[in-house]
């Protein structure tokens, strides 16, 4: 056998080795990308926890902020916590029923082209930047009337609507057709079938969808900047006035030069982060569970 022949035999092996090396390298890069994403999450959560947990105490939740405080005054953010509860609660009350109705229309009544049209509408609505929603609500309700808590809630509801409707559509689509058919075959009219048979099947889904949407909008700052941010320091539960909220408070405190303000910003951020992470993780867990349950009901 000549040297050239040997070379010919050798070459495929070399090539295979190179291909394997490239494959290895690419797999390593992919692994690295995933590791980076998880690491970023870890770093953000850890640095918020490290700075926020120490500052967290009951005064933060119960005491109002004191402007121009002299001496060691215990400052809190009670107004922001109360305001966020009111605003997000109201927003949910506005967005959820409409979202459910939209989903019912899409799943139970709409012909196919309209169904696709509504889907596209929801996607487009979901894609509009939240700051533009804020400007829109400012132009619609704030100009000439002033900022109010319920106006901020309306802005958040606009953000919530596509989220709530989307998740409801998904859950309704999971309800087995056989349930509807059985009910209709017994002579139950369509509206009672929908409200009495189909909708109760989706309670779990409604809860998860709502929790996810709440978690998403509870941290929204941009729509509230123009609709409910010029506020006093006393704690108020009245949505007829402008209410402070946690995200807006964090945003304003982070712009301040005083480290004590930063400390409160971290504490509030820690609370907000705990809430959103807990809500979204538990919603994920609930979602897989209720999906399994609805699927079983059909069989």
Partner 1 sequence: MSTVGATGEAARRPFPGRRARLGDVLLQGVAGLAALGAFVLICLIAYKVVDGSRLSLSTFGLGFLRHVGWDPVHNRLGGASFLFGTAATSLGALLLATPLAFGIALYLTELAPRWIRGPVTALVETLAAIPSVVIGLWGVIVLGPVLRDHVMPALHSTLGFIPLLGTPSATGTGIFTATFVLTIMILPIVSSISCELFLGVPAELKEAALGLGATRWEMVRGVVVPYARGGVAAAMILGLGRAVGEAIAVAQVIGGVDNLVSWNLFNGGNTLAGKIALEFQSSTSSLETSSLFYLALILLVFSLVMNVFAQVVVRRVARRQGLVAR
Tell which positions 173-212 bind partner 1, by CB under 8 A: 173, 177, 180-181, 184, 187, 189-192, 194-195
- In the complex with partner 1, which residue's Cβ is closer, 25 or 89? 25
Told to check if 8 binds partner 1 by CB under 8 A, we report no
- Decide if 186 contacts 124 (C-beta within 8 A): no
Among 91, 106, 160, 213, the residue binding partner 1 under the rule CB under 8 A is: 106
Residues 121-140, one symbol each (x = binds partner 1 by CB under 8 A, - = not), give xxxxx-xxxxxxx-xx-xxx
CA distance 120 to 95: 18
CB 220 within 8 A of CB 247: yes
| Of the candidate residues 10, 23, 57, 234, the single one contacting partner 1 (CB under 8 A) | 23
Q: How far apart are CA 12 and CA 85, in angstroms?
A: 68
Q: Tell me: does residue 282 bind partner 1 (CB under 8 A).
A: no
Of the candidate spans 77-85, 200-208, 235-243, 268-276, the one that interacts with partner 1 by CB under 8 A turns out to be 268-276
Interface pick for partner 1 out of 13, 68, 70, 255 (rule CB under 8 A):
255
The piece of 1-9, 57-65, 217-225, 233-241 that touches partner 1 (CB under 8 A) is 217-225
229 touches 246 (CB < 8 A): no
Q: Binding of partner 1 at residue 57 (CB under 8 A)? A: no
218 and 80 Cβ atoms separated by less than 8 Å = no
* Residues in Cβ contact with 145 at an 8 Å cutoff, skipping those fewer than 6 apart: 151
Q: Which stretch binds partner 1 (CB under 8 A): 62-70, 85-93, 102-110, 203-211?
A: 102-110
Among 64-72, 74-82, 85-93, 158-166, the segment contacting partner 1 (CB under 8 A) = 158-166
Residue from 87, 91, 165, 171 binding partner 1 (CB under 8 A): 165
- From the list 53-61, 73-81, 83-91, 223-231, the region that binds partner 1 by CB under 8 A is 223-231
Site for partner 1 (CB under 8 A): how many residues?
Answer: 99
């Amino acid at each position: 056998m000549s040297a050239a022949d040997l070379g010919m035999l050798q070459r495929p092996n070399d090539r295979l080795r190179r291909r394997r090396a490239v494959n290895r390298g690419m797999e390593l890069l992919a692994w690295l990308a995933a590791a980076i994403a998880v690491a970023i999450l870890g770093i953000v959560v850890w640095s918020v926890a490290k700075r926020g947990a120490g500052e967290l105490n009951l005064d933060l939740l119960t005491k109002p902020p004191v402007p121009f405080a002299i001496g060691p005054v215990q400052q809190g953010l009670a107004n922001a916590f109360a305001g966020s509860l009111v605003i997000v609660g109201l927003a949910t009350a506005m967005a959820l029923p409409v979202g459910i109705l939209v989903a019912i229309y899409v799943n139970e009544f709409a012909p196919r082209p309209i169904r696709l049209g509504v889907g596209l509408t929801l996607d487009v609505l979901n894609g509009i930047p939240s700051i533009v929603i804020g400007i829109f609500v400012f132009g619609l309700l704030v100009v000439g009337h002033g900022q109010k808590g319920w106006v901020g809630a309306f802005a958040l509801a606009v953000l919530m609507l596509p989220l709530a409707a989307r998740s409801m559509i998904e859950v309704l689509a999971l309800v087995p057709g056989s349930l509807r058919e059985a009910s209709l075959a017994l002579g139950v009219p369509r509206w009672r079938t929908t409200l009495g048979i189909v909708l109760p099947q989706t309670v779990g889904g409604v809860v998860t969808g709502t929790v996810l949407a709440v978690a998403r909008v509870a941290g929204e700052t941009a729509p509230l900047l123009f609709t409910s941010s010029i506020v006093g320091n006393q704690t108020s539960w009245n949505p007829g006035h402008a209410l402070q909220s946690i995200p807006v408070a964090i945003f304003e405190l982070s712009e301040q030069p005083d480290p004590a303000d930063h400390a409160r910003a971290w504490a509030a951020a820690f609370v907000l982060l705990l809430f959103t992470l807990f809500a979204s993780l538990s919603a994920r867990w609930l979602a897989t569970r209720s999906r399994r349950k609805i699927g079983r009901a059909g069989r």
